[in-house]
């Protein structure tokens, strides 16, 4: 894997909301401890998906988290997914899904530097659907507690 713990988080721009507002990840992560996916009690929680801002807004509304410290960002052009080297590229899965998707993952980022990477995937489960535990909050909290 080309992207590893200790790497600087990719300098890419994601979209927030609809109509989209650009969010530069380098600027967003600077000077903060951030988990990019989901963890309460941290400076900020960013959840991204290869999708558009309208879908991400609808997802946030359906989860009733508007106004919380959770921010749903659209990786509309899969820039972040590609930069993190987590494009879901399994031939069988992609024949069904079509457009690029990202693997199920979680990152702990401190002042723009990635401290921990958790990817949920297996040899016959490239999306991590059957065992998403590595990218879940509990596992990330345990790793932060033990390693940071």
Strand partners, 33: 110
pTM of the model: 0.69
| For the chain, domain boundaries | 13-147
Confidence of residue 18 (pLDDT cuts 50, 70, 90): confident
Q: Which CATH number fits domain 13-147: 2.40.50.100, 2.40.50.320, 3.40.30.10, 3.40.50.300?
A: 3.40.30.10
Task: Determine the pLDDT at residue 46.
Answer: 85
Sequential DSSP letters for 1-47? --S-TTSBPP--EEEETTTTEEEEHHHHHTTSEEEES--TTSSEEEE
Torsion, CA 31, CA 132, CA 118, CA 61, rounded to 10:
-20
Lowest mean pLDDT among 3-12, 88-97, 106-115: 88-97
Q: What's the chain's length in residues?
A: 148
Distance between CA atoms of residues 114 and 117, nearest Å: 7
Query: What average pLDDT does range 39-56 have in this prediction?
Result: 76
């Amino acid at each position: 894997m080309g992207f590893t713990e200790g790497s600087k988080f990719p300098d890419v721009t994601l979209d927030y909301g609809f109509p989209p507002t650009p969010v530069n990840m380098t600027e967003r992560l600077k000077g903060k401890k951030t988990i990019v996916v989901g963890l309460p009690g941290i400076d900020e929680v960013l959840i991204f998906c290869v999708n558009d801002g309208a879908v991400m807004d609808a997802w946030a509304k359906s989860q009733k988290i508007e106004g919380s410290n959770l921010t749903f960002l659209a990786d509309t052009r899969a820039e972040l997914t590609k930069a993190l080297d987590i494009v879901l590229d399994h031939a069988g899965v992609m024949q069904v899904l079509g457009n690029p998707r990202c693997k199920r993952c979680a990152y702990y980022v401190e002042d723009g530097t990635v401290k921990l990477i958790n990817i949920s995937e297996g040899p016959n489960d490239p999306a991590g659907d059957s065992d998403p535990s590595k990218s879940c909050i509990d596992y990330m909290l345990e790793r932060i507690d033990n390693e940071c």
